[in-house]
């Protein structure tokens, strides 16, 4: 359970913002979006494969960029 302590002089809007930030950090909103609709296991596998492929491409581009930077003498 997530709790936020509020002092007697603390602004309620500030407390709500603190609560929202804690929920985001805990990953609650992401989890809610995932559970909003049922996803078949085959769909989950496919999405996971596609995400891994995207990540491989990003990593490859990052490695190339870093190699070019080190080659230029940054």
pTM above 0.85, yes or no: no
Q: What is the pLDDT of residues 2-39, one digit of tens each?
A: 888 888 888 989 999 999 999 999 999 999 998 999 99
Nearest CA-CA partner of 11 in 19, 23, 3: 19
The residue ranges of every structural domain in the chain are 9-38, 39-74
Task: Note the Cα 19 to chain centre separation in Å.
Answer: 17
User: Does residue 23 contact residue 29 with C-beta atoms inside 8 Å?
Assistant: yes
């Amino acid at each position: 359970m997530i709790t936020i302590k509020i002092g007697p002089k603390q602004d309620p809007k500030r407390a709500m913002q603190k609560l929202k930030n804690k929920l985001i950090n805990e990953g609650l909103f992401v989890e809610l979006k995932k559970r909003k609709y049922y996803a078949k296991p085959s769909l989950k596998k496919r999405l996971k494969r596609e995400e891994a492929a995207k990540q491989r491409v990003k990593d490859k581009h990052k490695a190339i960029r870093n190699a070019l930077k080190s080659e230029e003498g940054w």
